[in-house]
């Protein structure tokens, strides 16, 4: 590393703990993925790491804790498909077991072990995931699409007469949680505070722990209410499932679905709208009838997946991955966006990807996203309804002025200002 490497901007860093996967590298020689300067261009950073280390690179996360960032598509699939070697159980994490991940650590809300299907493997995973997938399957896509259409019309009505809107703040960021609170049987007044808390937790801010506590308390109240007054909603289906989940298990799975579905679907909608408005290939295809909206969404999941980096996996035993020696207890970060851009499978990133669903936008293996059909239905219906209501949507600023905000897990489009012909409700 050169002397002007961004990782050198912060002095007095901690020395790597025993067993550090950097294998003798000084912390000053590694990229700190939590560094503000690094996060400003994580996409570029990941490609630099690929060029220097290949498909698996040593990095540092919050608190200068060591981790492996997995950039290769094949290597990500190997991890996703072999939970016996790369476990979702964070109790294998050496740094957590040795006390370096305190409750107030920014990554604690997403790495501390909980009674969730995403933190277990084997038979317990089958029991918990089965309850989630069975309960989600009780909601037909047709019914979800009716909710999406209704809420989309409500949101469009709020700005249709003005001829201008921000399709991130006024649309994409508003819609998924409205749909999810409907599926959860929650009053709509929960939406604003829940949305803010969810985004705070997933951004890994200093207030993430407090936001996580707020979500937990809100959902526990919901579970108590649904036990007393069942309804046709996701919490009730979990409560009634034969797997006999405890209150803690029900509450935590509600939190999991709420946070994962909201943030990823917001990004999917915003990213798809960005492409429709700025990429002439897709605009031409969509208006010319040569590419359906689901095809465009599939391309988005390759180029700008809703989740950039997935935390995490933990090595159960010493192993080898991408020519790197992985030690038992090491943490691995799955670079989903980087894997989708792996030159080994996509030598030409400008070429459209038609009919190919081997992207990792929804992860893969036994822990593949169980609610992806809901996310697809929300995004597809929302965008289709929006374009029908406002067929002459166009970007209101030069594309170069659009800004992105990046955290370890997500890359957000800050705003998407558009203009169109004003009309009434």
- In angstroms, rounded to a whole number, what is the distance separating the alpha carbons of residues 187 and 177? 11
pLDDT band per the 50, 70, 90 thresholds, residue 14: very low
pLDDT digits (tens, 9 = 90+) for 231-271: 989 999 999 999 999 999 999 899 888 877 888 899 999 99
**Containing H/E element for 150?**
helix 141-159
pTM of the predicted model as reported, rounded to 2 decimal places:
0.85
C-alpha dihedral over 51, 54, 60, 65, to 10 degrees? -170
What is the rounded average pLDDT of the residues 306-326? Answer: 94
- 274/351 Cα distance (integer angstroms): 18
Residue 307, both tokens = 């989740």
Let me know: does 136 contact 369? Beta carbons within 8 Å. no
What local confidence, expressed as pLDDT, does residue 202 receive? Answer: 65
Number of H helices, E strands in the chain: 16, 12
Question: What's the mean per-residue pLDDT of the chain?
Answer: 87
Q: Are 308 and 336 in contact (CB under 8 A)?
A: yes
**Residue 425 reports pLDDT greater than 80:** no
Contacts of 276 (CB under 8 A, 6+ apart): 282, 283, 286, 296, 383, 387
Q: Which helix (H) or strand (E) holds 87?
A: strand 86-87
Q: What contacts 111, CB < 8 A, 6 or more positions away?
A: 90, 93, 96, 101, 311, 312
Extract the tokens encoding 117.
């299907």
Do residues 318 and 328 lie in contact, with contact meaning Cβ atoms separated by under 8 Å?
Answer: yes
pLDDT digits (tens, 9 = 90+) for 191-242: 778 877 877 776 667 788 888 889 889 999 999 999 999 998 999 999 999 9
Using the structure block, give the residue that is written with the tokens 């180029």: 303
- With 80 as the cut, is the pLDDT of residue 167 above it? yes
Span 365-384, mean pLDDT?
89
Asked if the model's pLDDT at residue 3 lies above 50, the reply is no
Q: Do 21 and 314 touch, CB atoms closer than 8 A?
A: no
Q: What is the phi/psi pair of residue 230, to 5°?
A: -65, 155
Per-residue confidence band for 10, with pLDDT thresholds at 50, 70 and 90:
very low
Query: Is the CB of residue 214 less than 8 Å from the CB of residue 193?
Result: yes
Residue 7 to residues 45, 58, 64, Cα–Cα distance (Å)? 11, 13, 11
Among 200, 14, 21, 35, which Cα is nearest to 93's? 21
Rounded CA separation 309/340 (Å): 11
How many residues are listed for the chain in this entry?
425
pLDDT band at residue 283 using 50, 70 and 90 as cut-offs: low
Of the candidates 346, 398, 390, 370, the one whose C-alpha atom is nearest the C-alpha of residue 126 is 370
Residue 165's DSSP bridge partners are 418
Tell how far CA 371 is from the center of its chain: 12
- Cα-based angle 6, 403, 155 (whole degrees, multiple of 5): 145
Q: Do residues 382 and 148 make contact, with C-beta atoms less than 8 angstroms apart? A: yes
How far apart (Å, rounded) are the C-alpha atoms in residues 118 and 407? 21
- Domains of the chain with bracketed CATH: 6-419 (1.10.630.10)
Which residue bears the tokens 């067929």?
391
- For residue 413, give the 3-state DSSP assignment: strand
Residues linked to residue 357 through DSSP beta bridges, in sequence order: none
Q: Which of 368, 301, 300, 363 is nearest to 333 (CA)?
A: 363
The per-residue pLDDT for range 44-92, each reduced to its tens digit, is 999 999 999 999 999 999 999 999 999 999 999 999 999 999 999 999 9
**Can you give the pLDDT at residue 314?**
97
């Amino acid at each position: 590393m050169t002397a002007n490497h961004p990782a050198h901007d912060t002095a007095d860093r901690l020395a790597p703990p025993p067993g550090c996967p950097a294998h003798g590298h000084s912390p000053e020689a590694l990229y700190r993925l939590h560094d503000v300067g690094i996060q400003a261009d994580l996409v570029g950073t990941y490609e630099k790491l690929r060029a220097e280390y290949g498909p698996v690179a040593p990095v540092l996360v919050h608190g200068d804790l060591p981790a492996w960032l997995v950039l290769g598509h094949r290597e990500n699939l190997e991890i996703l498909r072999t939970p016996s070697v790369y476990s979702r159980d964070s109790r294998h994490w050496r740094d957590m077991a040795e006390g370096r991940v305190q409750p107030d650590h920014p990554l604690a809300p997403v790495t501390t072990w909980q009674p969730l299907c995403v933190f277990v493997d084997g038979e317990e995973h089958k029991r918990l995931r089965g309850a989630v997938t069975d309960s989600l399957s009780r909601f037909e896509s047709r019914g979800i699409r009716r909710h999406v259409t209704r809420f989309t019309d409500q949101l469009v009505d709020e700005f249709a007469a003005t001829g201008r809107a921000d399709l991130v703040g006024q649309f994409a960021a508003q819609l998924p949680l409205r749909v999810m609170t409907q599926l959860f049987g929650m009053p709509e007044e929960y939406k604003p505070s829940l949305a803010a808390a969810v985004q705070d937790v997933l951004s890994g801010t200093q207030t993430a722990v407090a936001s996580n506590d707020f979500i937990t308390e809100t959902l526990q109240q919901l579970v108590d209410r649904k036990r007393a007054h069942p309804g046709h909603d996701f919490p009730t289906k979990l409560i009634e499932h034969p797997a006999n989940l405890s209150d803690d298990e029900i509450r935590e799975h509600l939190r999991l679905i709420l946070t994962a579905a909201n943030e990823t679907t917001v990004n999917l909608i915003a990213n798809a709208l960005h492409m429709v408005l700025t990429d002439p290939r897709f605009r031409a295809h969509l208006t010319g009838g040569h590419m359906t909206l689901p095809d465009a969404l599939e391309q988005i999941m390759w180029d700008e997946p809703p989740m950039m980096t997935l935390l995490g996996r933990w090595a159960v035993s010493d192993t080898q991955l991408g020519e790197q020696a992985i030690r038992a207890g090491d943490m691995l970060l799955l670079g989903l966006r980087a894997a989708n851009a792996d030159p080994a499978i996509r030598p030409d990133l400008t070429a459209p990807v038609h009919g190919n669903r081997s992207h990792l936008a929804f992860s893969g293996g036994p822990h593949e996203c169980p609610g992806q059909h809901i996310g697809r239905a929300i995004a597809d219906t929302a965008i289709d309804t929006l374009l029908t209501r406002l067929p002459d949507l166009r970007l209101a600023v030069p594309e170069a002025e659009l800004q992105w905000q990046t955290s370890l897990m997500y890359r957000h489009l800050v705003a998407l200002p558009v203009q169109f012909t004003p009309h009434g409700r």
